[in-house]
Structure 1
Amino acid sequence: MFILIVIAAGILSRKTPLIPLIVGDLLYAVMMFLIIRFLFIRLSYLKTAFISLSICYLIELSQLYDATWFNSIRNTTFGGLVLGHGFLWGDMAAYTLGTAICVMLFQKIKPFTPVN
């Protein structure tokens, strides 16, 4: 249920010019964290964060790959939502921040407190 809410919020964030683009990227990382957590419920939060952040990074890095067949997938609505368009370092920062927020919320810790 939370995954669908985050997806809807992420899509809406791209349709509203008043919301900075970084919010959609942050929500993308939150969505990925929730999906990995749902699929691997027994995994620790830090391992969940590592896997979900790695997927986000790989998807962002895939935007540097310029092949006709891959771009044809990216140019579909679903492909564009999943794979995105154009590599940005700022997106990597947003994914990192979104994942860190998830870990903090799930662990119920204060920021800057070491995680065991």
Structure 2
Amino acid sequence: MKKNTRINYFLLIFTVIILGVLSRRIHGVPLFFGDILYAIMVYFGIRFVFINSSFRNSIILALLLCFSIEFLQLYTAEWMVSIRKTTLGHYVFGQGFLWSDLVYYTLGVVFAFLADVFLINKK
């Protein structure tokens, strides 16, 4: 593993956040693109925090986190809905549950894992 891998993960997280915000602001970009970027950011965030964890554990944890947040969207308590109405709450917790988002999260984690193996942690 390269010595500066944590820095690489941080830069990737920052870049993906900017791309995700831009994807919501630019007309013509499909909404699912943001879901894929969200999962990529979660994966790299987990790799950043748990730098020495295995790829398998990172994938599992990223999917668990993404899926948990998606299923949390089924919870419609008034206080939670008010959090989702804020800009940050909307970006973090989303608005409504969609089964298709689970597929996009899975694709995002797979893309991030492949980039991690073949670009970041290339031996």
Both proteins in one fold, TM over 0.5? yes
- Superposed CA offset, 1:6-58 (max 9, x none): 00000101111211111100000000001100000000111111101110000
2:17 is the alignment partner of 1:7: yes
Corresponding residue number in structure 2 for 1:34: 44
Report the Cα offset of residue 105 of structure 1.
2.0
% identical aligned pairs: 44
Q: Is the 8 A contact 1:46 1:103 kept in 2?
A: no
**Deviations, residues 63-94 of structure 1 (Å, cap 9, x unaligned):** 10010111111111111110000111111110
Q: Which consecutive residues of structure 2, in runs of 5 or more, have no partner in the other structure?
A: 1-10, 119-123
CA-atom RMSD, angstroms?
Answer: 0.9
Where does structure 1 lack aligned partners over 5 or more consecutive residues?
Answer: 109-116
More helix by share: 2
Partner AA of 1:106 in structure 2: D
Question: How many residues end up aligned between the 2 structures?
Answer: 108
Counterpart pick for 1:90 among 89, 95, 100? 100
Aligned to 1:114: none
Q: TM-score, normalised by structure 2?
A: 0.84
Say if 2:86 is the partner of 1:76: yes
1:104 equivalent to 2:105? Answer no
In structure 2, what is the Cα distance between the partners aligned to 1:37 and 1:66? 31
**TM score, norm. by length of structure 1:** 0.89
Q: Which amino acid aligns with 1:57?
A: F
Q: What amino acid maps onto 2:68 in structure 1?
A: L
**Which position in structure 2 is the counterpart of 1:111?**
none
User: In the aligned structure 1, how far is the partner of 2:52 from the partner of 2:26?
Assistant: 37
Q: 2:27 aligns with which of 17, 28, 42?
A: 17
Q: Comparing 12-21 with 33-42, which one deviates more in the overlay?
A: 12-21
